Amino acid sequence: MRTLTSLLGNSQRLDGGAMFGNAPRALWSRWIAPDDQNRIPLACRCLLVRDEGRILLFETGIGAFFEPALRARYGVVEPEHVLLEELATAGVDPADIDTVVLSHLHFDHAGGLVTAWREGEPLALVFSRARFVVSRAAWERARAPHPRDRASYIPAINELLAASGRLDVVDPEADAEAAARALGPGYRFHLSHGHTPGLMLTEVEMPAGPVVFCADLIPGRPWVHLPITMGYDRYPELLIDEKRALLEDLAGRGGRLLYTHDAEVALSGLGRDERGRFRAVDEHPAVVALAT
């Protein structure tokens, strides 16, 4: 049997204007209230999948690798490694994880791969036996970033992954069976380039309909609305086209969305309003051993 459980990584508070691109504050502040520094609360949510004796982890959150000054700069709330605490609560040791799937390697999605900051101590991978799956385009971008997004990557994490001997770089555009080869039957990769090259969304087949871990293509419920994008997105118009294609496909198949950055809702269904616009429905603040 396959079960899904949402886990929290460390949370952030980031500038609301940056998170909503060209949407005005008068609009986005109705959806998420900013603090006195114009920041909004964001989760860094992960997905744990237990699948016939295997344990898969999708993303690792931002983690706690930043030194205190950088932790404050990037709005990381908790000093401790929250994902490790969440795994322990779920009865999982980091050494139990068979596969870690990374949608991309921006630090708010991959930082939980490594140990928490300790003065004078080097970072180390916390998953001692897991294979790490990332798309070829995302890996190449992480190794040679553009000046616009260079600060989103941590070279030490790239070096640790490369040296691990357990990095599995896949190319879903060239290999339609990439997900099956990497994860087994019942999984599908969707590749997107609007946020960053090679953003890889994983679709998990479930009895009641597929669940898509939608990463930064759709960070949370407000971004289900097609025109809403982030200031961090590389090509917003392309992202909107990619989002439309995914949502129209999922709407026809009873698909559900697992959100990385929504501070209040982990999973929702997909519906349309009276004007035909996509919207989140059937919202769940957390997912615990979902098997349907």
Is 292 inside any structural domain? no
Measure CA of the first residue to CA of the last residue in the chain; give whole Å.
Answer: 10
Give the pLDDT score at 84.
Answer: 98
- Confidence grade of residue 23 (pLDDT, cut at 50, 70, 90): very high
Q: In this structure, are residues 72 and 54 in contact, taking their beta carbons and an 8 Å threshold? A: no
Q: What is the pTM of this model?
A: 0.96
Query: Of the candidates 241, 219, 213, which has an alpha carbon nearest to the alpha carbon of residue 232?
Result: 219
CB contact set of 127 (below 8 Å; sequence gap of 6+)? 57, 94, 95, 97, 100, 113
CA distance linking residue 160 with residue 292, whole number of Å: 36
pLDDT, position 1: 92
| Letter string b/e over residues 155-183, b meaning 16 or more CB atoms within 10 A of that residue's CB | eebbebbeebebbebbebeeeeebbeebb
pLDDT band with cut points at 50, 70 and 90 for residue 62? very high
At residue 271 the predicted structure's pLDDT band, cuts being 50, 70 and 90, is very high
Dihedral of CA 154/158/164/168: which sign? positive
Tokens of residue 194, six digits: 């609007």
Residue 170 lies in a domain: yes
Report residue 55's pLDDT band, with 50, 70 and 90 as the boundaries. Answer: very high
**Is 196 a domain residue?**
yes
d(CA 44, CA 77): 11
pLDDT of residue 209: 96
Beta bridge partners of 134: 169
**Burial classification of residue 140, based on how many CB atoms lie within 10 Å of its CB (0-12 exposed, 13-18 middle, 19 or more buried):** middle
Question: Residue 58: which pLDDT band, with cuts at 50, 70 and 90?
Answer: very high
The tally of domains found in the chain comes to 1
Report H helices in the chain. Answer: 16-19, 25-28, 68-73, 82-89, 107-110, 136-143, 155-164, 178-183, 236-251
| 208 found inside a domain | yes
What pLDDT sits at residue 101? Answer: 98
Residue 269 banded pLDDT, cuts 50, 70, 90: very high
Predicted local distance difference test score (pLDDT) of residue 76 = 97
Adjacency order of strands within the sheet including 199-204: 187-192, 199-204, 211-213, 256-258, 267-272, 278-284
Residues in the chain: 292
Stretch (H or E) spanning 29: none
For 130-181, the pLDDT digits (tens) are 999 999 999 999 999 999 999 999 999 999 999 999 999 999 999 989 999 9
pLDDT attached to residue 163: 98
CATH number at residue 14: 3.60.15.10
> Residue 44 belongs to what domain range?
2-284
Model pLDDT for residues 110-124, shown as the tens digit of each residue: 999 999 999 999 999
| Res. 78 pLDDT band, cuts 50 70 90 | very high
